[in-house]
Amino acid sequence: MSATFWVWFGIAIYIAVGLVIAVMARRRLGAGVSEFFLANRRVGGFVSALTYSATTYSAFMMIGLAGLTYITGVGALGFELTYLCGMFMMVFFLPRFWLVGRKYGYISPMELLSDRYQSKWVGATAAILALVFLVPYAAVQLMGIGYLMNGVSQGAIPVVAGIIIAVLCAIAWSNIAGMRSVAWTDAFQALIMIVTSAAVLGVVVAALGGFGSFFGKLESATPGLLTVPTAKGAWNINMFIGYALPWLFFLISNPQVSQRLFIPKSVTAMKQMLGGFLIFGFIYTLISVLWGFGATLLVPGLEKPDLATPTILALPIIPMGLAIIVMIGITAAAISTIDSVLLTLSSVWARDIHKGLINPKVSEARELRVGQWVIPIMAIIAFVFAWWAAEQTGNVLEFMIARLSVAASAGLLMAVPAIFGAFFWKRATASGAIVSCIVGAIVVLLFQVTGWKPLGWWPGTWGFIVCVILFIGVSLATKPPRAKAEEFIGYLKEKLAEGKFI
């Protein structure tokens, strides 16, 4: 039997198991918007940790981050671990999101902003930001799957076929039972991701003579990749900040992950979610970076760094069965992110755009149907973007998965000052939030499209500076929703003290 057959066979098994899990989740699906989008805020710690991990970590890791390590070296580790260090901020934000989510019944992070600032336009602005910038982020996941299946099948499966499979799975798993099916399939997929990636890294390290020999070969063959900046000039401080800044605030800027702060069923579940994720993230990051370093030794000189992983998986040192299992693990990582993004975007559209702006009197059933329709529409848009980006052959760096992911998060970063203000600054205003989001996002888009980097600073850095200044300045010049701010922050102060949160 050919490699192509076994690739299709592996994909079929993966889809079948995923569907069974999603259908099982549907049996426990109750009625209502909160049930569909948040599993009724009743998710246990173990599943919360795994769905948070699977949603956060995507094709970006074993393909994008590995590719980035392959071409730019150890700075990629620093950049990704800066994200994980940023998770320290969960000790502030997790209890705050969770407490107000329960008290006020928020479905999306944007709804939180609308209520806190007493303006539906704040939520709508943040929602549009998410709809615009999460599309390329979802698209890079699709590209990852396309590259991977194409590589492992040695070109027999076209890139676009992999993209189509991922789109269909993501649509199905987010539509079957909403957050419940997404969380359950995420848990299954997170386990596949970590086990398969660890196993294949073990094989590669063994082929290179064990860790001692692997590290020794790296130091002698590619010493320039072990410092920052690298010998080739990558990872100067501006580049590092340009990459790391959007990642640092990923936990609150990306609604598909911040929405998960509403779902743990108890404080114990919250603790398990955070602790489980931190451990998962640490292990998975090290695996992905070491994998990328392994690629520099095994398959040097590739034109497209994102092809490092598929190329290694096609080497004879990797048994075909393992290569296919790993391919499924990475596919799982990508699909578990896409379906979460689609579900979040559908809730954002239904709650913050449709109900918030278009039809405030919409029934809950109608709101839910609107959300479910958005899922395939957003999936198709992401599909078109992924197909287009995967076809690009010009500037390889511009269309690298890592680069596109960071560019998308740079846009989402513009909601961060408004989120900080909601929890920590009573003087923050709706006008400050709206103006800072819009102008910041325009700056990011403009700099991203033109490639302009004044002073060598990256688009996200400039956008964030402009955004923070505008948020503070406009807030000070306008009238805050004093009563709501007092009530919202006062409630948190009382409950945070009660739960020994900080």
Residue in 32, 44, 105, 229 binding another protein, rule: CB under 8 A: 229
Least distance to another protein from the beta carbon of 219, Å?
5
d(CA 91, CA 314): 42
What residues have CB less than 8 Å from 86, skipping those under 6 apart? 247, 248, 249, 250, 251
Give the position of tokens 């449709």.
354
User: Interface residues for another protein in 245-264 (CB under 8 A)?
Assistant: 248
Query: Which CB atom, from 102 or from 369, has the smaller least distance to another protein?
Result: 102
d(CA 399, CA 390): 8
Would you say 80 and 247 are in contact if contact means Cβ atoms under 8 Å apart?
Answer: yes
* Range in contact with another protein (rule: CB under 8 A) among 30-38, 224-232, 393-401, 425-433: 224-232
Query: Which CB atom, from 144 or from 281, has the smaller least distance to another protein?
Result: 281
Residue in 90, 169, 350, 400 binding another protein, rule: CB under 8 A: 90
Tokens encoding 204: 């590669």
What are the CA-CA distances from residue 331 to residues 11, 194, 317, 474, 496 (Å)?
A: 9, 12, 21, 44, 39
User: Interface residues for another protein in 119-158 (CB under 8 A)?
Assistant: none
Residue in 19, 81, 156, 164 binding another protein, rule: CB under 8 A: 81
What residues have CB less than 8 Å from 175, skipping those under 6 apart? 372, 375, 376
Contact between 377 and another protein per CB under 8 A: no
Contact between 91 and another protein per CB under 8 A: yes
Least distance to another protein from the beta carbon of 43, Å?
16
Contact between 17 and another protein per CB under 8 A: no
Would you say 260 and 336 are in contact if contact means Cβ atoms under 8 Å apart?
Answer: no
Contact between 84 and another protein per CB under 8 A: yes
Tokens encoding 422: 């909601």
CB atoms within 10 A of CB 155: 11
d(CA 196, CA 201): 9
Closest to 499 in 3D by CA, of 44, 90, 95, 91 = 95
Contact between 240 and another protein per CB under 8 A: yes
User: Interface residues for another protein in 286-305 (CB under 8 A)?
Assistant: 286
Least distance to another protein from the beta carbon of 106, Å?
14
Would you say 93 and 423 are in contact if contact means Cβ atoms under 8 Å apart?
Answer: yes
Contact between 455 and another protein per CB under 8 A: no
| Residue numbers at the binding site for another protein (CB under 8 A) | 74-75, 77-78, 81-82, 84-85, 87-92, 94-95, 99, 102-103, 215, 218-219, 223-224, 226-229, 237, 240-241, 244, 248, 266-268, 270-271, 274-275, 278-279, 282, 286, 495-496, 498-502
